[in-house]
Amino acid sequence: MIRIRNLSKSFGANAVLRGVDLDVARGQSLVVIGGSGTGKSVLLKSILGLVPPDAGQITVDGQDTQGRNHEAFLSRFGMLFQGGALFDSLPVWQNVAFRLLRGSLRRPQAEARALALDKLRRVGLGPEVADRLPAELSGGMQKRVGLARAIAADPKVIFFDEPTTGLDPIMAGVINALIREITTEMGATTITITHDMASVRAIADRVAMLHDGRIRWTGPVGDLDSTDDPYVRQFIHGHPHGPIEALR
C-alpha cells in the first residue's frame, strides 16, 4: 500500500532522513517511534507530498507521491494533527465537514452536515455539540472532533500525529481505543507518530523506530518487549543512559 525506498531529506546541513525504507501493508496500523527531532513528522509530510524528497521513492497504491494531481491525491488521506488543529472560528460540524464543503470532495451543505453529525456520533459526540465552537469543548472532546474530521471523507489512509498529547491517561486510553476500533472497522491503512508507549501498544500492528535518519528496527508490536536492540530497549523503557544520547 505504502512503499518507501531510500528516502533522503536534508534541510541545509541537517540530514534528517538518510535512506528510509519502509512498507505499510493495506489495512495495517504502523506506529513510528523515535526521539524528538528524528524526522517523524518530515516522514509523514514526505508521504503526503508536502515535503519534496532529495532522493528516494514513495508510492501509495503504486502511485508516486510526487504526481501532478496533488489535490486528488491528498483527498485519499485523512489526518489527525498534533493538538487537533481545529479552526477556532468555525462551528464543530464545519470543522468535521471541512473537506466536504470545498475542493474535489465538495457536497451540498445539508449532506455535508448530515455526514458530519454521523461521524460525530461515531466518535461519541451528540448533535448538541455540532453548532458549538471548538473552544467551548474539553481537550478530549476536541480530539474526538479531530478524529471525526480525519474520518469524514472515509479515507483509505489515515495519519495520526501525536493523537494523545495533552490528554490525561484515561482519556488517552479512550482515544487510543476509539482510533483502533474505527480504523479497523474502516479497513484503513494508518501511520501513527507517538511518544506514548500506551498508544503504541493500543494502536500498532507493527512498530518502526526511526533513529539517525533510518529505520533502526521494525517488527510486530508483540516483538517490541523481547527485542534485544539496545536503541529500542532504551526508548521503550525511557532510560537516560544508553546508545541514544539525551541532552541534559
Sheet holding 2-11, edge to edge: 14-24, 2-11, 55-60, 63-64
**In angstroms, what is the minimal distance from the CB of 137 to ligand ATP?**
24
DSSP H or E stretch at residue 159:
strand 157-161
Set of cell numbers at residue 132: 458549538
Set of cell numbers at residue 149: 474530521
CA distance 146 to 201: 21
Residues 31-60 close enough to bind ligand ATP by CB under 6 A: 34, 36-42
**In angstroms, what is the minimal distance from the CB of 121 to ligand ATP?**
32
Applying CB under 6 A, does 14 fall inside the site for ligand ATP? yes
**In angstroms, what is the minimal distance from the CB of 17 to ligand ATP?**
9
Q: Using the rule CB under 6 A, give the single segment among 11-19, 65-73, 199-207, 240-248 that binds ligand ATP.
A: 11-19
Contact residue for ligand ATP among 11, 69, 185, 225 (CB under 6 A):
11
**In angstroms, what is the minimal distance from the CB of 31 to ligand ATP?**
13
**In angstroms, what is the minimal distance from the CB of 232 to ligand ATP?**
16
With respect to ligand ATP, which residue has the nearer C-beta, 73 or 81?
81
With respect to ligand ATP, which residue has the nearer C-beta, 31 or 115?
31
Contact residue for ligand ATP among 2, 7, 16, 209 (CB under 6 A):
16
Question: Cα-Cα-Cα-Cα dihedral of 222, 6, 45, 151, to 10°?
Answer: -50
- Burial profile 38-54: b = 16 or more Cβ within 10 angstroms, e = fewer: bbbbbbbbbbbbebebe
With respect to ligand ATP, which residue has the nearer C-beta, 39 or 134?
39
* Among 89, 105, 9, 84, residue whose Cα is nearest residue 50: 9
**In angstroms, what is the minimal distance from the CB of 25 to ligand ATP?**
23
Cβ burial, residue 90 (10 Å; 0-12/13-18/19+): middle
CA distance 25 to 92: 33
Q: Using the rule CB under 6 A, give the single segment among 9-17, 123-131, 163-171, 213-221 that binds ligand ATP.
A: 9-17
* Cα distance from N-terminal residue to C-terminal residue, the chain: 40
Applying CB under 6 A, does 206 fall inside the site for ligand ATP? no
Applying CB under 6 A, does 87 fall inside the site for ligand ATP? no
Interface residues with ligand ATP (CB under 6 A)?
11, 14, 16, 34, 36-42
